């Protein structure tokens, strides 16, 4: 029997995804669990495994194409399953899908720095089908079929063109012979020019399609700026003690292959600060006229990648040691750069730390990772003259920028939180004792 496997709802309201790489082709035998395709959604890049063992009968969609949840991905020929058994398989597929859609949806707060929220939010993206009863998946969902003339079909097949992608110019958008010819010509043109041809004039602008990540960042930034009343407080912390501590233990960590940075201390300090100032670890739920105070301290950290910023999460930072946070950061940073982050790595954040100072910059005005209540920006630590015991000495100054949603966080709360963070960072040993 033939079984059409559709792009599943991989959770969190993802509505569409871009096909990056096909791992399988027509005629290839596969086992259940074998990766079929690498997909980029607005949140993650992930492999979609095959739900069944069989032979690939057809592959739908080409690399680079954006498809919706529910669109067919592959058709699998499952050997030896006929009749009733075939129906069972179909029912099973429907069941699986149902499970996926019935999972509770909790996608508050992960995302990209300063923006960040969740891509699947129904206000911005098509809602998909979550929450609705799963339709009985038809075993053979017909593909959208183009109207085309017989010769056009024969040509498309011959040239390896998916005729459903060719815009038709005939009556009723029928695809004609000439449409295939011009489509083919365009493809050929796109494959580079023969050598010796004069270089085309340089255009003053270049157009590039938006990546899913960039689309999400754009939407989320706008949403945050539109909804939250941003207010930013700046503070300086003298962190000579922290610098000393790091210098002392850097080597030791390096021996274990770990990069010992200031980030774990800042994350830990932030988590502690949040514990005593819960309003910064909260969310405004206007729809229900209430506040949501979060009892876990999941700190998003902004990671700069080639495609754009992503914001994986360090879960329960309050309960992790500095060493554990160090390991966790190394792990997610690497995943982020290799684009292997999963939804699990990104969801449920409650507060965000962005460390632009790692590159350059002292102060910034970070944009809240909406709907979180606040975001802490870390500037570059600079050696500066500071006054200690009425004497001017060389100190290490860490600039902090805290943006809060002023609708729920008052100036006093913000300042008190900053003060607490400042205390903890200027006396790092206290962080080890909490």
Phi, psi dihedral angles at 374 (to 5 degrees): -160, 160
Provide the strand spans (E) within 266-324. 282-285, 290-293, 299-301, 303-305, 308-310, 313-314
* Among 236, 231, 266, 269, CA closest to 373: 231
For another protein, the closer of residues 85 and 181 by Cβ is 181
Task: Please tell me which residue in 99, 226, 230, 406 is annotated as part of the active site.
Answer: 406
305-332: b (≥16 Cβ within 10 Å) or e: eebbbbbbbbbebbebebeebbbbbeeb
Shortest distance, position 345 Cβ to another protein, whole Å: 51
Q: Which residues pair with 37 in a beta bridge?
A: 22, 48
Q: Is 99 a catalytic residue?
A: no
For another protein, the closer of residues 32 and 151 by Cβ is 151
Which tokens is 250 given?
């850097």
For another protein, the closer of residues 157 and 290 by Cβ is 157
Distance CA 431, CA 428 (A): 5
Shortest distance, position 176 Cβ to another protein, whole Å: 6
Q: Which stretch in 169-177, 203-211, 254-262, 423-431 sits in contact with another protein by CB under 8 A?
A: 169-177
Could you report how far apart the first and last alpha carbons of the chain are, in Å?
Answer: 61
The site for another protein, by CB under 8 A, has a size of: 10
**DSSP three-state, residue 169:** coil
List CB contacts of 97: < 8 A, sequence separation 6 or more: 8, 9, 134, 137
Q: Is 341 a binder of another protein (CB under 8 A)?
A: no
Shortest distance, position 166 Cβ to another protein, whole Å: 14
- The answer to whether residues 298 and 278 touch, using CB atoms and an 8 Å cutoff, is no
Q: Is 155 a binder of another protein (CB under 8 A)?
A: yes
Q: Is 181 a binder of another protein (CB under 8 A)?
A: no
In whole angstroms, what separates CA 315 from the centre of its chain?
Answer: 16
Distance CA 385, CA 393 (A): 5
Count, residues in the chain:
434
For another protein, the closer of residues 28 and 149 by Cβ is 149
For another protein, the closer of residues 177 and 250 by Cβ is 177
Shortest distance, position 27 Cβ to another protein, whole Å: 24
Q: Which stretch in 37-45, 144-152, 216-224, 323-331 sits in contact with another protein by CB under 8 A?
A: 144-152
Q: Is 166 a binder of another protein (CB under 8 A)?
A: no
Q: Is 152 a binder of another protein (CB under 8 A)?
A: yes
List CB contacts of 298: < 8 A, sequence separation 6 or more: 109, 313, 314, 315, 316, 317, 348, 349, 350, 351
For another protein, the closer of residues 148 and 374 by Cβ is 148
Q: Which stretch in 35-43, 53-61, 152-160, 313-321 sits in contact with another protein by CB under 8 A?
A: 152-160
Which tokens is 49 given?
């495994």
Q: Is 149 a binder of another protein (CB under 8 A)?
A: yes
Q: Which stretch in 75-83, 127-135, 150-158, 244-252 sits in contact with another protein by CB under 8 A?
A: 150-158
Shortest distance, position 171 Cβ to another protein, whole Å: 10
- The answer to whether residues 41 and 23 touch, using CB atoms and an 8 Å cutoff, is no
- The answer to whether residues 385 and 348 touch, using CB atoms and an 8 Å cutoff, is no
- The answer to whether residues 40 and 212 touch, using CB atoms and an 8 Å cutoff, is yes
Distance CA 380, CA 361 (A): 6
Q: What is the DSSP letter of 330?
A: H
Residue in 177, 214, 339, 406 binding another protein, rule: CB under 8 A: 177
Residue in 158, 164, 344, 384 binding another protein, rule: CB under 8 A: 158
Q: Which stretch in 42-50, 153-161, 265-273, 393-401 sits in contact with another protein by CB under 8 A?
A: 153-161
Shortest distance, position 60 Cβ to another protein, whole Å: 24
Q: Which stretch in 64-72, 122-130, 147-155, 269-277 sits in contact with another protein by CB under 8 A?
A: 147-155
For another protein, the closer of residues 170 and 278 by Cβ is 170
- The answer to whether residues 18 and 38 touch, using CB atoms and an 8 Å cutoff, is no
Residue in 136, 151, 291, 365 binding another protein, rule: CB under 8 A: 151
By CB under 8 A, name the binding residues for another protein. Answer: 149-152, 154-155, 158, 169, 176-177
- Please give the positions annotated as active site: 406
């Amino acid at each position: 029997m033939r079984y059409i496997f559709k792009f599943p709802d991989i959770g969190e309201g993802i509505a569409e995804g871009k096909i990056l790489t096909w791992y399988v082709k027509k005629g290839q035998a596969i086992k259940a669990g074998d990766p079929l395709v690498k997909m980029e959604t607005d949140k993650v890049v992930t492999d979609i495994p095959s739900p069944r063992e069989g032979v690939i009968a057809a592959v739908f969609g080409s690399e680079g194409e954006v498809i919706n949840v529910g669109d067919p991905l592959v058709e699998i020929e499952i050997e030896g399953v006929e009749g009733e058994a075939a129906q069972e398989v179909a029912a099973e597929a429907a069941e699986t899908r149902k499970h996926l859609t019935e999972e509770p949806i909790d996608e508050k707060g992960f995302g990209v720095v300063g923006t960040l929220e969740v891509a699947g939010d129904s206000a911005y993206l098509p809602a998909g089908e979550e929450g609705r009863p799963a339709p009985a998946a038809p075993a053979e969902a017909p593909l959208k079929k183009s109207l085309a003339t017989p010769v056009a079909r024969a040509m498309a097949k011959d040239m390896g063109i998916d005729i459903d992608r060719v815009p038709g110019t005939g009556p009723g958008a029928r695809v004609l012979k000439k449409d295939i010819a011009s489509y083919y010509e365009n493809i050929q043109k796109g494959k580079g020019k023969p050598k010796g041809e004069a270089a085309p004039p340089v255009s003053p602008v270049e157009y590039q399609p938006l990546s899913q990540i960039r689309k999400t960042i754009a939407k989320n930034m706008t949403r945050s700026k539109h909804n939250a009343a941003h207010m930013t407080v700046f503070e300086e912390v003298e962190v000579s003690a922290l610098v000393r501590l790091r210098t002392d233990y850097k080597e030791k960590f390096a021996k274990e292959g770990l990069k010992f940075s200031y980030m774990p201390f800042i994350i830990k300090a932030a988590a502690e600060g949040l514990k005593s100032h819960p309003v910064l670890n909260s969310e405004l739920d206007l729809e229900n006229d209430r506040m949501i105070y979060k009892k876990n301290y999941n700190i998003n950290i902004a990671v700069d990648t080639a495609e754009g910023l992503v914001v994986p999460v360090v879960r329960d930072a309050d309960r992790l040691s500095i060493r554990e946070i160090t390991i966790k950061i190394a792990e997610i940073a690497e995943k982020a750069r290799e684009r292997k982050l999963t939804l699990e790595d990104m969801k449920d954040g409650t507060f965000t730390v962005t460390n632009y100072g790692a590159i350059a910059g002292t102060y910034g005005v970070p944009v809240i990772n909406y709907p979180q209540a606040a975001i802490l920006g870390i500037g570059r630590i600079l050696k500066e003259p500071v006054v200690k015991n009425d004497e001017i000495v060389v100190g290490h100054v860490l600039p902090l920028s805290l943006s809060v949603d002023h609708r729920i966080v008052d100036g006093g709360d913000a300042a008190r939180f900053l003060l607490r963070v400042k205390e903890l960072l200027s006396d790092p040993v206290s962080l080890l004792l909490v």
